[in-house]
Structure formats: C-alpha cells, structure tokens
C-alpha cells in the first residue's frame, strides 16, 4: 500500500480501476495509434490497471477475451468490436456479472441496449458521404463530366467502419450519373491485402478512374499496385482514402493520394473518463460521436505538423 497519496483528487481512495480492453488487432496505422492512446490513458498513473488483449481481427478471440475478463472479475470491460453482430451472448454474461461495458470505435448491433453502458466512436456513414461529396466537387472543378469508373477497397466486412463508409459513399454517389462503381471488394484494412485486391482489379478493368480505399493503409497498397502497373496515382487515378494518419499526409504531399477523410483514433482519454464515471455511478452519455474533418492534398503540407497520429 503506497502512502504517497498526496493529491487531493485521490479523495482517500487509491485503488486502481481494473479494465479489460479487447482490441481488434494491429491491422493499420489507425489501430496502432488507437492502442497507444488507450494504453497511455488507461495507465497506473491515471488510476487504471489495464488488461490488454489483441484479437488479431477475429471476433472469436474477442469473445474469449471478454470471458477471461469476466472470470477475473474486472471493474470495467472495453471492447473495440471487429464486427457489429454476434455480441448478445457474451454481453449477457457481462451483464449478469454486473460489469459495465464500454464499446469504443466500431459499433455493435444488439436487440437490447442495456447490454452495454455506452459507446464512443466515429460517424462512419457521414465519413462515406463526405468522401463522395468531396469526389463529386473535385471532378466538377476539374471539368470532368464524362463517366468516372470507381473501384472500392472495403474494410473488414461487417465492421461498422466498412458498413457506414460503403453505405454513405454508395448512397451519395448514386445520385450522380457520371459515376459508376465497377467493383467493390474487401482488403481487410491492411496494406498487403489492399495491394493484392488492387492488382486483381487492374487485371479485370483497364479503365479505373477512382479508387476509394476505406482506410489509408489499403490506399498505400493500392498506390503501390498502380505504380507497378505503370499508372500515376493522384493524377491518372484519383485516390480517396479514410483515417488521415500521418503517412497519408506524406502520401498527399508526394502527390500520390488526393484526399483523406479523417477518422479520429484518440479514444483513450474518452474511455478513461467514461470508466471513471461508471465506477462512480455517474450518468454517462449513451452514444458519443467525435468530430472529424476532410483533408485534401492541397492543405496536407500545412496540416502535417499539427497531426497527432
Ligand atoms: O478506419 C481502420 C482500422 O474501425 C475506424 O479500423 C476503425 C478502422 C480504421 O483498421 O484503419
């Protein structure tokens, strides 16, 4: 027992909050930044004991991790879910054990909202709409009124990030008859898979004008595939991406990527605050969206020094 509790806001208790966090994996720069944010906010010096579990992009690993957290009788469980569905049973077990659950980043779909305490993350559908609107304006400004053929590299199928971005983009772009979605396929949010899927698109279609990559890492893979095929990404082929990680700004400055729609991964402090409130039986907001912007290439150089991830 430490006798060092000198700070007034310790209010007599220096017991750490034990929090189990089931993370998706380490598939992207976004995810790595998210893990770093969670680990630093849920540190001992902030009053937490963190049990971190990496699910390697598999929901079954997450379900196992949550059961582990329950059997260790943690104070709070946080989950960044791989997919939206399949959570009812294990969340019912957490509820029976009286352990509050914070969902972070992607969303879940459950018939009973009391299976989780709260959620914080991004409006993925809005991100998709923003991407489409940016593209429509960009082509208009360039005077390109002829048919634009689009391919979409989707994220993990069934994840909120994929579902929202696919729907937001698709619903918006279909209102304009000069855009045609040639194909969409998952690249699982990784650079390697993004490259592979882009290579196969390039074999099937010789008239691709636009690539929509549902995260920056898949865009980097697609850019490599395009260059290897003798195309000029950012010029002959417009590259629209999501996340807006630092490496995307570098890619925009290099002229390879045209725009990245921001997705903020810095959820650690938000989750820490929610966990503390839940432990104090304070009311929390059930659903909390974070604010996000759109970063086109022309402002990349100016913005890069301000980027935190
Ligand atoms: O866009 C992608 C990551 O769920 C918002 O997951 C997150 C997404 C993010 O792999 O890079």
Edge-to-edge strands, sheet with 76-79: 48-54, 17-23, 76-79, 101-104, 118-121, 287-289
pLDDT band at residue 294 using 50, 70 and 90 as cut-offs? very high
Which residues, in sequence order, are CB contacts of 277 under 8 Å at separation 6+? 283, 284
Please list the residues that pair with 120 across neighbouring strands.
Answer: 104, 288
Residue 231 pLDDT > 50, yes or no?
yes
> Can you give the pLDDT at residue 3?
43
Ligand 1 centroid from CA 4, angstroms: 40
Q: What angle do CA 68, 72, 74 make, to 5 degrees?
A: 105
- Give, for ligand 1, the residue of 119, 189, 219 to mutate: max count of ligand atoms closer than 8 Å to Cβ: 189
Q: What is the pLDDT of residues 70-90, one digit of tens each?
A: 999 999 999 999 999 999 999
Please report the pLDDT score of residue 243 as a whole number: 98
Q: Is the CB of 193 under 6 A from ligand 1?
A: no
Is pLDDT at 26 greater than 60 in this prediction?
A: yes
Q: Is residue 8's pLDDT more than 60?
A: no
Which residue owns the Cα nearest ligand 1 atom 6? 31
27 ligand 1 Cβ < 6 A: yes
Answer whether 243 contacts ligand 1 (Cβ < 6 A): yes
Q: What was the pLDDT predicted at 12?
A: 44
Distances, alpha carbon 63 to alpha carbons 55, 206, 263, 271, in Å:
9, 43, 26, 20
Q: Which two tokens stand for residue 197?
A: 């899927």
What is the per-residue pLDDT across 166-178, written as a single tens digit (0 to 9) for each? 999 999 999 999 9
Q: What pLDDT is stored for residue 7 in this prediction? A: 45
The per-residue pLDDT for range 142-160, each reduced to its tens digit, is 999 999 999 999 999 999 9
Could you tell me the two tokens for 64?
């196992």
When the pLDDT of each residue in the chain is averaged and rounded to a whole number, the result is 96
Residue 236 alpha carbon to ligand 1 centre in Å: 27
**What percent of the chain has pLDDT above 70?**
96
Please determine, for residue 9, whether its predicted confidence score (pLDDT) is greater than 70.
no
Q: What is the pLDDT of residues 178-223, one digit of tens each?
A: 999 999 999 999 999 999 999 999 999 999 999 999 999 999 999 9
Ligand 1 centroid to 12 CA: how many Å?
40
Q: 268: CA distance to ligand 1 center in Å?
A: 15
Give the distance (Å) from ligand 1 centre to CA of residue 31.
6
pLDDT at 13: 57
8 CA distance to ligand 1 centroid (A)? 39
Does ligand 1 have an atom closer than 6 angstroms to the CB of 105?
yes
**Is residue 48 in contact with ligand 1, taking CB distance under 6 Å?**
no
- Regarding the beta carbon of 127 and ligand 1, being less than 6 Å apart is answered no
Query: What six digits make up the tokens of 49?
Result: 């004991």
Q: Is 163 in the pocket of ligand 1 (CB under 6 A)?
A: no
Question: How many whole angstroms from 28 Cα to the centroid of ligand 1?
Answer: 7
Q: Which position has the token pair 């540190």?
A: 43
Would you say the CB of residue 270 lies under 6 angstroms from ligand 1? no
Q: What is the pLDDT of residue 14?
A: 72
pLDDT digits (tens, 9 = 90+) for 91-120: 999 999 999 999 999 999 999 999 999 999
Task: Pick 14 or 107 by higher pLDDT.
Answer: 107
């Amino acid at each position: 027992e430490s006798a060092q509790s000198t700070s007034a806001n310790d209010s007599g208790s220096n017991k750490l909050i034990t929090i189990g966090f089931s993370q998706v994996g380490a598939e992207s720069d976004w995810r790595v930044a998210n893990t770093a944010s969670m680990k630093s906010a849920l540190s001992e010096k902030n009053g937490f004991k963190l049990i971190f579990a990496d699910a390697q992009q598999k929901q079954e690993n997450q379900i196992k991790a949550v059961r582990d957290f329950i059997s260790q009788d943690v104070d709070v469980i946080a989950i960044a879910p791989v997919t939206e569905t399949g959570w009812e049973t294990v969340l019912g077990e957490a509820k029976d054990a009286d352990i509050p659950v914070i969902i972070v980043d992607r969303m879940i779909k459950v018939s009973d909202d009391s299976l989780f305490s709260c959620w914080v993350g991004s409006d993925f559908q809005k991100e998709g709409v923003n991407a489409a609107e940016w593209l429509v304006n960009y082509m208009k400004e360039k005077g390109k009124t002829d048919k634009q053929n689009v391919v979409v590299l989707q994220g993990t199928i069934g994840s909120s990030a994929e579902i929202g971005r696919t729907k937001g983009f698709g619903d918006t772009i279909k209102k304009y008859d000069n855009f045609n979605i040639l194909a969409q396929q998952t690249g699982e949010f990784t650079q390697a898979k993004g490259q592979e899927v882009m290579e196969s698109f390039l074999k099937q279609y010789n008239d691709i004008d636009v690539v929509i990559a549902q995260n920056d890492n898949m865009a980097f893979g697609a850019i490599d595939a395009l260059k290897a095929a003798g195309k000029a990404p950012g010029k002959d082929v417009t590259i629209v991406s999501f996340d807006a990680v630092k490496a995307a700004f570098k890619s925009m400055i290099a002229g390879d990527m045209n725009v990245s729609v921001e997705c903020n991964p810095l959820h650690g402090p938000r989750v820490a605050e929610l966990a503390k409130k839940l432990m104090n039986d304070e009311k929390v907001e059930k659903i909390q969206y974070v604010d996000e912007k759109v970063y086109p290439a022309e402002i990349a150089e100016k913005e890069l020094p301000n980027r935190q991830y």
